[in-house]
Amino acid sequence: MAAPIDLNLVRAFVAVHEAGSFSAAAVKLGVPRSTVSRAISALEAATGALLFHRTTRTVHTTRAGLSLFDRAEPWLARLEASLRDLPDAAPVPSGLLRVTATADLGALVFAEAVARYTTRYPDTQVEVALTGRPVDLVKEGFDLALRFARGPVPGATYVTRKLGKVVLQLFAAPDYLTRRGTPRTLGDLAEHDLVTIGDAKVLLPGGKALPGTRRITSDDKAFARAVLRAGAGIGLLPTYLATDDLTQGHLVRVLPSLEVATGSLHVLMPSKKHVPARVTAFRDLLVDMFRR
């Protein structure tokens, strides 16, 4: 079985034939003339054929060389074009972007980000996987993940970028407050219905429990937001979750000076080397969204 031939040898051969001399080929390739000369000698040794007739002033391609050029040049041109056109190497975002997050983060953060992204970069496609299970970005072929962390970021082998802190505040619908009144102090909450997320007792700064009647409890933040909008009570929501509802008047802050810091949001990527433009563009879009 013949040994594989170095692609650089073929590239040097094509350059010499097209340029008409070793010196001109060296200039075209950006290498010393001696490098081109050694490449041609190595290719002739590998093929067992004389590829060029050399004199002190001229270089002529032999019949064997012409035959090799006719076969190799189209193949080399196609290969180099294919390498240039790889989606991951494109300077402008293009191709398929695969991202993952938990259901609540995906529906409320990724939805807006993906809409902006595909509008801005029409040559991209986005596949979103919303799941509560741990995802192995490398094995499952994901480009980016959005994750919440109370402490150290899960997945220490990944490249991470912190988007910002997650802060909880109290929210309620205007019609609920019209019916039941607006609390002015923390103690006033004892007379109100609470919408809570999770089974754990909600603790405020200082270790105090949130007073009031736990009327509705859910393990889904999007559901909690929906029932708060429907006027079911007062509840803690991440501020990023309620921004649009505040702007549109569906929700208002209750006791606006009260804040509960719960952790941070992070963008995770499998590697920091050769990151495609489609991935860095989406990451930067998320960073910009949370900064604003």
3-state secondary structure labels for all residues of 253-264: EECCCCCEEEEE
- pLDDT tens digits along 206-234: 667 788 888 999 888 888 999 999 999 99
User: Does the reported pTM lie above 0.85?
Assistant: no
Give mean pLDDT, residues 27-55: 90
Closest CA to 102 of 197, 213, 208: 197
- Average pLDDT of the chain? 85
Please identify, among 30, 60, 85, the residue that sits at the C-terminal boundary of a domain.
Answer: 85
Looking at residue 183, which CATH number applies to its domain? 3.40.190.10
Q: Is residue 60 part of a domain?
A: yes
Domain that holds residue 209: 166-263
Please identify, among 85, 104, 136, the residue that sits at the C-terminal boundary of a domain.
Answer: 85
Looking at residue 22, which CATH number applies to its domain? 1.10.10.10
Is there a contact between 54 and 41 (Cβ–Cβ < 8 Å)? no
Q: Is residue 113 part of a domain?
A: no
pLDDT band at residue 1 using 50, 70 and 90 as cut-offs: very low
Please identify, among 42, 66, 85, the residue that sits at the C-terminal boundary of a domain.
Answer: 85
Residue with the bigger pLDDT between 95 and 178: it is 178
| Number of residues that make up the chain | 292
Q: Is residue 44 part of a domain?
A: yes
Of 133-147, 171-185, 224-238, 243-257, the poorest mean pLDDT is in 133-147
Is there a contact between 250 and 173 (Cβ–Cβ < 8 Å)? yes
Q: Which two structure tokens, joined as six digits, stand for 87?
A: 């989606």
Per the structure, the count of domains in the chain is 2
Give mean pLDDT, residues 126-155: 82
Checking if the pLDDT of 241 tops 70, the result is yes
Give mean pLDDT, residues 116-131: 92
Q: Is residue 104 part of a domain?
A: no
pLDDT band at residue 55 using 50, 70 and 90 as cut-offs: confident
Q: CA 256 to CA 278: how far, in whole Å?
A: 39
Q: Which of 14-28, 72-86, 89-103, 142-156 has the highest mean pLDDT?
A: 14-28
- The whole-number pLDDT of residue 160 equals 79
Element housing 238 (H / E): strand 234-238
Element housing 97 (H / E): strand 95-101
- The whole-number pLDDT of residue 282 equals 92
Q: Is residue 157 part of a domain?
A: no
Q: Is residue 73 part of a domain?
A: yes
DSSP letter for each residue of 256-287 = TT--EEEEEEEEEES-SSS--HHHHHHHHHHH
- The whole-number pLDDT of residue 83 equals 66
Q: Is residue 98 part of a domain?
A: no
pLDDT band at residue 86 using 50, 70 and 90 as cut-offs: low
Q: Which residue stretches of 85-203 are H helix?
A: 103-105, 111-120, 174-180
Closest CA to 198 of 257, 267, 150, 144: 150
Q: Is residue 236 part of a domain?
A: yes
Percent of the chain topping pLDDT 70:
89
Angle value at C-alpha 248, between 115 and 257, nearest 5 degrees: 110
